Amino acid sequence: MDGVMTKEFVFEEFKKLETNQQKAKYLRELKETKQKYPRSVSIKISLKQFDNLIREYESLVPFGAMKREIAEREKTEAHIEMLKRKD
């Protein structure tokens, strides 16, 4: 394999993809490339992180659970802050 895939190149190629299925396929291919030729992909991402991203893009609502957890945490933090101000 010639050359090294930089983070910028990977991000630009990823931006061109329109559907979540295309993104999941691209991530699977990139993971395989990183496994076969570790020095050809110059982004610091583990195979487990690839698996997590692929799983999210293959789900019905990508990152839905994560967004819900963040919203719940922010709501809880706002409530705690409001209670502190009352004291």
What's the gap between Cα 37 and its chain centre?
Answer: 21
Tens-place pLDDT, residues 21-66: 999 999 999 999 999 988 888 888 899 999 999 999 998 887 888 8
Tens-place pLDDT, residues 61-81: 878 888 888 999 999 999 999
Contact call for residues 13 and 26 (beta carbons, < 8 A): yes
User: Domain residues of the chain, as ranges?
Assistant: 7-62
Which tokens hold the place of 11? Answer: 């991000």
Is residue 41 classed as helix, strand or coil in its secondary structure? strand
Whole-angstrom distance, CA of residue 29 vs CA of residue 41: 12
This prediction has a pTM of 0.70
